A and B are shown apart, each in its own frame.
Chain A
Amino acid sequence: MAAVRRWPRKLAVLAAALPGAGSQGRAAAPGPAVLPAPGPTEEPAPEPVPGTAAPATAALYVHWPYCRKRCSYCNFNTYVVRALDEAAVRACLVREAQTLLRLSQVHRCVYGVRSEWALLRSSVPTCNSPPSASSVTSVFFGGGTPSLAGPGTVAAVLEAVAGAAHLAAAAEVTLEANPSSASISRLAGFRAAGVNRLSIGVQSLDDSELRMLGREHTAAEARQAVEAARGLFPGRTSMDLLFGLPGQSRDAWAQRLEAALGLCDDHISLYQLTLERGTALAAQVRGGALPEPPQDLLADMYETARNVLVATGFRHYEVSNFARKGALSTHNLSYWRADEYIGVGPGAHGRFVLRGEGGCSREARVQTLEPVTWMREVQSHGHGTRSRVVLNPLEQLEELLTLGLRTDEGITHECWGHFSPQFSLQDVFGEPGEARALQQSGWLVLDSGGLRCTWAGLAVLDSLLPDLLWQLQRALGAARCPPRDKEGQDARAVSGHDGQ
């Protein structure tokens, strides 16, 4: 990829060296400039926007917004609906996936892919060959409770994806499942539909904790669900667990963790409970009905969990994610590496380049939140995009920094170079300043592998980021990309339907 990205620069430099070629030669370089090149011809020529020449690949997220019951801690975009017209929702998910894939031009370019997918969808793909160029690298059904959707709906969406883009047989296809809708037969149906990875929302293995969380299932049902999933998706079953519940003791957490280790497959996500505003649980804590977990206890719980899991052979590859035997989630890694992703469904977010419209800049997109409105929009316009915001190069780097430092690999030089061809990690963070000070204090590392957090630094990342972002803004934001004025910002958020 690096080689492909570099050639326009070499070409431009060559062109500049030719007699008679000057600014015109640079102007002819493909794509608009990321960072305008100032000054005379010996300056490097402007680079094309990353991705224009690169193969189009993207991860695809599908949002199923419905739940049977709202959990006490959840503030996601979810809806409890009595009678759902699933056929209509399915048709809209299919249609929006097709539209957005066309716009992103992550389309099929290998002849006969559809039939390949159709052939394989009755069995779990076992082939481990990497996805080819111009393809959907992974699909993730999240929610809400996507395990409440019929396997037929999942199959329809996957078929639509395979029909509109290249979806390799080996591509990771994850579905989030609730233990209360994860019977063996149902899970088998999802496998037949093309799902090859399951993420089970266990949350706790204690009945009273589950009740506090407003979950519909018991600890026993959660165990059964994980066991059923492991039987059907061996090595590709993940479980979610929450810690830092009001009143949860250090010992109770250690017990839950031990129980989880006895049950789990090769991937586990451990989330500190966030008391989100507007949730029933947060109100109980604020009202004093439940105790607020002390900060030091939360830090201890996190530290215990990391140590125990690493000692058991797990790789702590992201703030809240652990995997062994290489069972990392490809889909989620796409977010943290700032790859392109397309969001389908009510309230889904996306980050991708609109190649289908000849576009060359990465856009942040949000689909309409409310399902009924979203469906109406999809039915009349083919998609329910509510906002489109073009991300300028600084904003793209800010996201990369924020996301990339959450992983154990951090931000590699290659990945950084993809977004910032002119200013290396060293240029921005190697100079005396915040990052240097954070390195000296032992929170951060910048070396040949890239920029990443230390073990201690990862636990306090949100205290490091404002410093690093401020340094980044100074290093290239202020000098090269003056912040937009207010009008500019308003103008770039367009409501969905024009020009698509």
Chain B
Amino acid sequence: MSTYPVESIRNFSIIAHVDHGKSTLADRLLEITGTISKTDRNKQVLDKLQVERERGITVKAQSASLFYNHEGINYLLNLIDTPGHVDFSYEVSRSLSACQGVILVVDANEGIQAQTVANFYLAFEAQLSIIPVINKIDLKNADPERVEKQIEKLFDIPRDDCIRISAKQGTNVEKVLQKVIEKIPPPQCNSADPLKALVFDSTFDHYRGVIANIALFGGEIAKGQKIVSAHTKKRYEVNEVGILTPNEQPTHKLYAGQVGYLIAGMKEVTEAQIGDTLFLYKQPVEPLPGFKSAKPMVFAGMYPIDQTEYNNLKSALERLTLNDSSVTVHRDSSLALGAGWRLGFLGLLHMEVFNQRLEQEYNMSVILTAPTVPYKAVLSSAKLIKEYGKDEITIINPAQFPDKLSVSEYLEPTVLGTIVTPHEYIGKIITLCQDRRAVQKDMLYIDENRVMLKYLFPLNEIVVDFYDALKSLSSGYASFDYEDAGYQSADLIKMDILVNGNPVEELATVIHKDKAYAAGKLLCERLKETIPRQLFEIAIQAAIGKKIIARETLKAYRKNVVAKCYGGDITRRMKLLKRQAEGKRLMRKIGNVEVPRDAFIRVLKRETDK
């Protein structure tokens, strides 16, 4: 590795909206540089997870070192893959901080989408060189000219700078490599400096422990050296270093400007947190800026479908979080759903992907409750302030929601959402956003018929079904992305659901006052559909404090007896009745009302799972 001085190194990422061809381009780059052999099977080589290949997204970034000779000079090109969604924007920003440039891929047919915008700004703010690439020019409906205009208008990049390619067919891909060498500067660092390595990703290997992906901002690293984590202050001895091709390939050393991996006896991924800085023992350096611990934005309860599966699910969760330190896990329990956890995710996609990985990689089926967001309350009650030891608390579980009397202000998390849509859907989209309590921040025509809208959304308004609603009212054409925008004051209340006057703890919800009536009505209706009729009338109500805001009535059974029961009917009849009798065991009694456990599951489940 010592034959590659800093001047012949280029560190770059590919960024793109979902499905615009990031992974296909990566495949071609790997082939051209001989990193992998050229076969038809090279599809999403860097996307190793089943969920990534199925959804066409990148969840877990992979990196690869490419060797390329250009005008007689051997170059080391480090392709640092990034997760393809802004749920993972922190990961993206860390990956980008190991780069000096990006390839911005835009689909020649679809043009700029919401995520293109978000990714561009991440790269732009990091002051990286940007190589715009218009992909899929082989498609019949490709309109690269229109896309070039969009890029020029929105990103202020001259249209002549765009490279038109077809990653699928390999057209002009070589040109992209040349541009990488010409336009992206080499990293500014020196091997003579003390070691300064950025951890930009980490994975867990059952045999070797944590494998940390690192970018060297200074110095060199080799087996046997003693290193320290700036974040944890823990000391390790380096067992192995190497480059990714994209599989780990041990090398003698890594030098400043280079990118590779390190194994150093770390037992958990939390020991190699993304953004952390590693330095040599007794040679501390100033840590690289921008490190922060993952901050969950969306919470959901997760329970085993059957409590006997609790331990299996527990170990699956433990193993999966080994590879994904951004998921927070707190034990939780519910009268209706039993023992489980409250998990925090970076965003909705992250939550879905995590759930899908549990199913696919660990064969676990779980109950996932409707996602909620972390609210905050600024306390005014001296007693509560003393109890919590602070005057601002975060509310993850509605059961902890403090009464209005002891609170001076409630706060809710917000996000800045970007929507890119063909203009004919603007009216409907604006109405949808207003329904979601969103405030318009910007509206810009990116070409004659495409509009970019920016809205400030309360996070809880988009966590459940916003994306589906947007997709359906725009026939799938509008794209959406969002970024954290801090907290804002909100008129929040706690809504209880009562069954014959008794509160159902697991259905209590923190909600904005304006939304309570509609949500209360919906919850009552859904619950009515799922509670079986009984021998007496059942009132299902939504209440704010003592005030009833919605009611559904489940009438008593007046007739419930099978008409025919003769010799041939008994076996079938007994099977059904015994199942019902067996079901009594699983009934949750609320007062004298028997509610099947799956009634809550059906009510609590997200709409899309119905």
Contacts and interface: CB of A to CB of B under 8 A. Distances in A.
Interface of A: 61, 271-274, 295-296, 298-299, 302-303, 319-320, 332, 335-336, 341, 343, 347-351, 364, 366, 395, 398-399, 402-403, 406, 441, 443, 458-467, 469-470, 473
Given A349-B570, A398-B574, A469-B578, A459 B560 contact: yes
Contacts, number: 105
A205 B213 CA distance: 83
B558 A296 contact: yes
Interface in B39-62: none
Contact of B561 (A273, A296, A441, A460): A460
Interface of B: 534-535, 555, 557-568, 570-571, 573-574, 577-578, 580-585
B535 A462 contact: no
Contacts of B567: 61, 335, 341, 343, 348-351
B536 to A, nearest CB: 8
A465 B577 contact: yes
Contacts of A347: 568
A465 B535 CA distance: 12
Given A402-B573, A467-B584, A295 B559 contact: yes
A274 B562 contact: yes
B580 A349 contact: no
A83 B260 CA distance: 82
Contacts of A271: 563-564
Given A335-B567, A343-B568, A350-B567, A461 B560 contact: yes
A406 B565 contact: yes
Contacts of A465: 577, 580-581
A473 B583 CA distance: 13
Contact of A302 (B555, B557, B559, B582): B559
Contacts of B583: 466
B571 A364 contact: yes
Contacts of A348: 567-568
A441 B535 contact: yes
Given A296-B555, A398-B577, A465-B577, 8 more contacts: A271-B564, A295-B555, A343-B567, A349-B567, A460-B557, A467-B584, A469-B577, A470-B582
A335 B566 contact: yes
Nearest to B579: A466
B586 to A, nearest CB: 11
5 contacts: A274-B563, A319-B562, A335-B570, A460-B535, A466-B581
Contacts of A350: 567
Nearest to B556: A460
Nearest to A272: B563
The 9 closest A-B pairs by CB, nearest first: A299-B558, A469-B581, A466-B580, A299-B559, A271-B563, A470-B584, A470-B581, A461-B561, A349-B568
A402 B568 contact: no
B577 A466 contact: yes
A362 B570 CA distance: 14
Given A460-B535, A469-B578, A473-B581, A298 B559 contact: yes
A463 B556 CA distance: 11
B559 A320 contact: no
A463 B557 contact: yes
Nearest to A63: B568
Nearest to A242: B563
Secondary structure of the A contact surface, majority rule: helix
Nearest to B561: A461
B577 to A, nearest CB: 5
Secondary structure of the B contact surface, majority rule: loop
Given A459-B559, A460-B535, A460-B559, A402 B564 contact: no
A274 B558 contact: no
Given A319-B563, A399-B574, A466-B580, A460 B568 contact: no
B580 A402 contact: no
Given A364-B571, A402-B574, A459 B563 contact: no
A257 B555 CA distance: 28
B146 to A, nearest CB: 47
Contacts of A296: 555, 558
B565 A319 contact: yes
Contacts of A462: 560-562, 577
Given A274-B564, A348-B568, A351-B567, A460 B558 contact: yes
Contacts of A351: 567, 570
A402 B575 CA distance: 11
A459 B558 contact: yes
B607 to A, nearest CB: 24
Contacts of B555: 295-296
Contacts of B574: 395, 398-399, 402
A400 to B, nearest CB: 10
A274 B572 CA distance: 15
A462 B559 CA distance: 9
A470 B535 CA distance: 17
A34 B558 CA distance: 38
B563 A466 contact: no
Select the residue from B558, B559, B578 with max chain A CB neighbours within 10 A: B559
Nearest to B585: A470
A320 B557 CA distance: 18
A498 B324 CA distance: 58
Select the residue from B562, B580, B583, B585 with max chain A CB neighbours within 10 A: B562
A272 B560 CA distance: 11
Given A335-B570, A443-B535, A466-B584, A460 B577 contact: no
A299 B560 CA distance: 9
Contacts of A459: 558-561
B264 to A, nearest CB: 50
A55 to B, nearest CB: 21
A138 B568 CA distance: 16
B560 to A, nearest CB: 5
Contacts of A295: 555, 558-559
B596 to A, nearest CB: 12
A55 B582 CA distance: 35
A303 B565 CA distance: 19
Nearest to B536: A441
Nearest to A343: B567
A467 B584 CA distance: 7
Nearest to A349: B568
Contact of A460 (B560, B563, B582): B560
B564 A320 contact: yes
B243 to A, nearest CB: 54
Nearest to B564: A271
B582 to A, nearest CB: 8
Contact of A463 (B535, B570, B578, B585): B535
Nearest to B566: A335
A407 to B, nearest CB: 11
Given A466-B584, A473-B581, A403 B561 contact: no
A341 B571 CA distance: 14
B556 to A, nearest CB: 9
A332 B571 CA distance: 16
